[in-house]
Amino acid sequence: MASSVVRATVRAVSKRKIQATRAALTLTPSAVQKIKQLLKDKPEHVGVKVGVRTRGCNGLSYTLEYTKSKGDSDEEVIQDGVRVFIEKKAQLTLLGTEMDYVEDKLSSEFVFNNPNIKGTCGCGESFNI
C-alpha cells in the first residue's frame, strides 16, 4: 500500500466553465514545485497518483499517493517535468480541474479547484458531483 503524500482540500468553482485542455488536470507552478520537492527524497517513485474514495460527509474525497509506475487504466499528466497519474475512477471527476498547492500561517495543502463539483462539506474535504 502506498503512503499518503499530504492532505488535500476541494473547492467548488462555480463561475468557471469547463474548458477543453490537452490534460485532464492542470497544475499551478506552486503545485509543480511542491511535487518536485516531495519526489526529490523518493527516487524510487516516478510521480504521484490522484484518486477518489467514498468517504466524508458529502460523498467523495481525493487521495494523493506516491507511485512507482503507471497503472493500466491510469491517465498520465506530464507538466513541467512532473508526472501525475489519475486513477480511472477519478478521471471524470477531475476534467477541467486545476491542482494548486497553498501555504498559509497555519496549514499547507494541495487544493483542487474543480468546476464539476455540485457541493462540498463544511470542512472542504469531501464533495459530490
pLDDT digits 0-9 by tens, 68-84: 988 888 889 889 999 99
- Is 2 among the domain residues? no
Per-residue pLDDT band at 36 (split at 50, 70, 90): very high
Domain presence at residue 7: no
Domain with 124 in it: 25-128
Residue 17 lies in a domain: no
Choose the weakest-confidence range: 3-17, 43-57, 59-73: 3-17
Q: How many domains does the chain have?
A: 1
CA R_g for the chain: 14
In Å, the largest CA–CA distance within the chain is 40
- HSE-up (13 A, CA, CB side) for residue 43: 0
125: left (phi over 0), alpha (psi -120 to 50) or beta: alpha
- Domain membership of residue 74 (yes or no) is yes
